[in-house]
Amino acid sequence: MAHRRRPKPRTAPGSDFDTTSGWINFNARPYLTYLALTGRLRLDWGWLLGIGVLKPWLVADQMGLPLSSQATDLRERLVGLGHVRDDRWFRLTWALIRLVLHRGDSDLHAITADDVEDLRQAIQRLDRIPGLDRVIDPACLPTRRAAWGTNAYRAGLALFHAGITNRLPVPYRGLPRPPLSGKPRINAVLERFLGTRPGPASGEHVQRPGRTAALRAVAGHRPPPHRQPRPAAPR
């Protein structure tokens, strides 16, 4: 494609936006991150997914937590296993830090497979999170759902291969496939093929029950004549 479709950027707040509340919200984020990393607060998915700018790694580094080095090790491990080609667009840290802040536990090894699945389910239900449509354009939700879901899935892979979680995340296959047709597609091909053959294998002379016999005749393969059993000799 000559031009890739990019997600719609976030728009500026409207005229009814409370500047004071916005200023407090923005400047309170590092403190909220500190509370979550010290186990004093658990942040919900609505806040973690709807927040525009979240920079928790600086706070974690200032606290002396090994989260940054652990995330780097997990990313390199997953790239080395071939699950992603490179880490240029691979945002493992996006999912990891949200798992940590949601648990309210800075220990990365405390994350469970259920935590990963909880995040993935929240991403699948973005349109059901109250108030999320006020910070993210509903038209952008499918794009965000796909990108965030991939990040969360790969985070689950990395955590499993590092021995932190006990099971692999199950990939979502999307909508179920339509049921298979009761009439195989090859039937139409066979009908066209038999219709072009001369002799008894053409037109309406070939009945459906005799399709196998007609194909054998066309291929030059004829079964041996049926032999009648010999009558028993009189005694």
- Tens of pLDDT, residue by residue over 159-197, are 999 999 999 998 886 555 666 656 666 667 677 777 776
Q: Does 41 have pLDDT greater than 50?
A: yes
In the chain, % helix, strand, coil (3-state, to 5) comes to 55, 0, 45
Q: Which residues of 129-166 are buried (b: 16+ CB within 10 A; e: fewer)?
A: beebeeebeeeebeebeeebbbbbbbbbbbbbbeebbe
Range in 141-145, 170-174, 222-226 with the lowest mean pLDDT: 222-226
With beta carbons less than 8 A apart as the criterion, state whether 47 and 101 touch.
no
With beta carbons less than 8 A apart as the criterion, state whether 91 and 158 touch.
no
With beta carbons less than 8 A apart as the criterion, state whether 158 and 78 touch.
yes
Q: What is the mean pLDDT of the chain?
A: 78
For residue 48, which of 151, 170, 164 has the smallest C-alpha distance? Answer: 151
pTM for this one? 0.65
**Cα(109)–Cα(10) distance, rounded to whole angstroms?**
34
Q: Does 206 have pLDDT greater than 50?
A: no
